Amino acid sequence: MSTKPLLLIVDDDPLISDALSYTLSSEFDVVTSHARPHCQALLRQLRHPPQAALIDLGLPPQPHRPDEGFALIGELLAHAPDMKIVVLSGQNDDDNARHARTLGAIEFVEKPCDPGKLLALLRRTLAFSAPATASNPQDALIGESLPMQRLRLQLTQYANLGFPVLIEGESGSGKDIVANHYLHRLTARRDAPFLALNCAAISPALLEPTLFGHARGAFTGATSARAGYFEEAGEGTLFLDEIGELPPDLQPKLLRVLENGEYQRVGETQTRVAKARVVAATNRDLRQEIKAGRFRADLYHRLSVFSVSVPPLREMGRDRLLLLDHFRKLYASQAKCPPFSLSPEAEQCWLDYAFPGNVRELRNIVIRLTARYPGEVVSPDQLRIEFDASEAVDRDNLLPQGAPLPKIQGDPRIDTALSHLQSNGEIDLDAILALWERSYIEAALALSGGNVSQAARRLGINRTTLYNRMESWHRT
């Protein structure tokens, strides 16, 4: 087997893909893809995820917009959180570059790029490895803020009880660390296996045999019987990440395991008993998924016997400085260079920034600063280049002077909904609030000429949040 790192290239221009593959194949095993759906299928076929990825933002079916590329960044990191993603794109305005880094890309490179410089960048990027597993699990979560203290207290209470735990939190907030360090390594199960399965990273057709195992001949390619994750986890912990992506037809089978421990391998009638503790995680609001009919309410209640919420970085105050210091020392040591420091003004900018990509974004910013300013004092201007400009909300002037607030009462959908609900003698508060929220967003977009960044600033939220709210309209 090759000892070269595996590199994924995603670009819809075959000339670019072929040229990059030829140039980079001296140091990488290269796989290529031309579109997001094809890339998803390719990842599911690989035995191991790529260590690095070069992706374009403009992909089919909208090659002149960055949306597909932005979505792909999130999917790649859901599949492999430690993958180093470099965006190589002609859609190189500052907003796109900053937003790509906010989503988790470690660097943004404009097309055309000198292949030698690109190779040097990939070498440098892969030189920064993921943080090693903490020798003391208690040290895995860094922070002294009240939200972090509350989280640690909850985890200490739930760790050894053996019931399922649902971990909720935004992307990049560290849900996997909570599962491994606190709900496995600090329990009596610490010497048993800890197995993690990302429900979004496996083809729905293969998810059931992966979880429960399969008999020989159960489906095409099943040349021998194989145990599933429930069986291999034994009396350890099974971590189901992205549980909100679990297909509807598989949800009752997982519910059965949680209720009585029973399951069957695909293609078998023999009933087996699972002994592993199930820990699940999601960045979705499963209550909304239940209302939309995409997630079973009974499964949700079984998974959330205990539930914990990992706080977003914007709620952790000066913990941002503790994390800065931790990663700054770590990556300076890896790069064998003196660590950078922040000027007092830059430190205040650091504290004011919301970090919508959470700890993952903070870590990537530290990596870039370590590479660019070893041993130097970073100024506010140098630091702001690393931030997503749409997240730096001017809270003293969210609306331009003289701009009227949208007259939400005039939205005919809300008038109709209120009339209908009142005639029935009932008010569905969630429905009313959803309509009001959508009306405000549409009004902000209209006032901003369709510019999402400006609309987010008007509403006092970050652009990532606004994209998520708008995407939810299409899921309901």
Q: What is the pLDDT of residue 210?
A: 92
Lowest pLDDT segment from 20-29, 289-298, 466-475:
466-475
Measure CA 323 to chain center. 19
Q: What is the pLDDT of residue 441?
A: 85
Number of Cβ within 10 Å of residue 288's Cβ equals 16
Same domain for 158 and 264: yes
Q: What is the pLDDT of residue 398?
A: 39
Higher pLDDT, 45 or 333: 333
Tell me the pLDDT band of 408, cut-offs 50, 70 and 90.
very low
pLDDT digits (tens, 9 = 90+) for 103-140: 889 999 988 888 888 999 999 888 887 665 555 656 67
Q: What is the DSSP string of 9-51?
A: EE-S-HHHHHHHHHHHTTT-EEEEESSHHHHHHHHHH-SS--S
Q: What is the pLDDT of residue 425?
A: 59
Q: What is the pLDDT of residue 395?
A: 36
Same domain for 288 and 147: yes
190: in domain: yes
The whole-model pTM stands at: 0.74
Same domain for 172 and 58: no
The C-alpha torsion from 432 through 438 and 440 to 446, rounded to 10°, is -150
Q: What is the pLDDT of residue 235?
A: 95
Catalogue the long-range contacts made by 259-265 (C-beta closer than 8 Å, 24 or more residues apart).
259/302, 263/212, 263/230, 264/212, 265/209, 265/212, 265/213, 265/214, 265/215, 265/218, 265/225, 265/227, 265/228
Q: What is the pLDDT of residue 402?
A: 43
Q: What is the mean pLDDT of the chain?
A: 86
413's enclosing H/E stretch is helix 412-423
Same domain for 327 and 301: no
Tell me which residue range forms the domain holding 445: 408-460
**Of residues 19, 15, 11, the one with CA closest to residue 119:** 19
Tell me which amino acid residue 416 is.
Answer: T
82 three-class SS? coil
Strands 84-89 and 272-273 turn out to be unpaired
Structure tokens at 11: 């670009």
215: in domain: yes
Structural domain ending residue among the three candidates 347, 365, 391: 391
Per-residue pLDDT for 450 more than 80? Answer: no
Per-residue pLDDT for 68 more than 60? Answer: yes
Question: Using an 8 Å Cβ cutoff, are 351 and 387 in contact?
Answer: no
- With the C-alpha atoms ordered 270, 271, 275, 281, is the resulting torsion angle positive or negative? positive
Per-residue pLDDT for 418 more than 60? Answer: no
b/e code 325-334 from CB counts within 10 Å (16+ = b):
ebbbebbbee
Measure CA 305 to chain center. 24
Q: What is the DSSP string of 195-254?
A: EEEETTSS-HHHHHHHHH-B-TTSSTT--S-B--HHHHHTTSEEEEESGGGS-TTTHHHH
Same domain for 188 and 116: no
469: in domain: no
Structural domain ending residue among the three candidates 277, 309, 341: 309
Same domain for 232 and 154: yes
Structure tokens at 450: 């369709």
Q: What is the pLDDT of residue 359?
A: 93
Query: How far apart are alpha carbons 358 and 101 in whole angstroms?
Result: 11
The average pLDDT across 251-267 equals 95
Structural domain ending residue among the three candidates 309, 326, 341: 309
Q: What is the pLDDT of residue 127?
A: 84
Same domain for 253 and 198: yes
**Of residues 296, 302, 312, 205, the one with CA closest to residue 244:** 296
pLDDT digits (tens, 9 = 90+) for 333-367: 998 999 999 999 999 999 999 898 899 999 999 99
Same domain for 170 and 283: yes
Tell me the pLDDT band of 466, cut-offs 50, 70 and 90.
confident
Higher pLDDT, 456 or 387: 387
End-to-end CA distance of the chain: 46
Q: Phi first, then psi: give them for residue 307, nearest 5 degrees.
A: -135, 145
Question: For residue 253, what are the CA distances in angstroms to 12, 143, 305?
Answer: 39, 38, 18
Per-residue pLDDT for 267 more than 70? Answer: yes
Same domain for 229 and 205: yes
Per-residue pLDDT for 258 more than 80? Answer: yes
Lowest pLDDT segment from 6-10, 43-47, 176-180, 293-297:
43-47
372: in domain: yes
Same domain for 294 and 150: yes
Q: For the domain that residue 15 is a member of, what is the CATH number? A: 3.40.50.2300
1: in domain: no
Per-residue pLDDT for 49 more than 50? Answer: yes
Tally of domains within the chain: 4
Q: For the domain that residue 167 is a member of, what is the CATH number? A: 3.40.50.300
Q: For the domain that residue 348 is a member of, what is the CATH number? A: 1.10.8.60
Size of the chain in residues: 476
Same domain for 367 and 292: no
Q: What is the pLDDT of residue 136?
A: 61
The average pLDDT across 170-197 equals 92
170 three-class SS? coil
Per-residue pLDDT for 152 more than 80? Answer: yes
Query: How far apart are alpha carbons 469 and 114 in whole angstroms?
Result: 38
118: in domain: yes
Q: What is the pLDDT of residue 254?
A: 96
Same domain for 288 and 222: yes
Q: What is the pLDDT of residue 415?
A: 62
355: in domain: yes
The average pLDDT across 414-436 equals 65
Q: What is the pLDDT of residue 458?
A: 78
Lowest pLDDT segment from 98-107, 188-197, 457-466:
457-466
258: in domain: yes
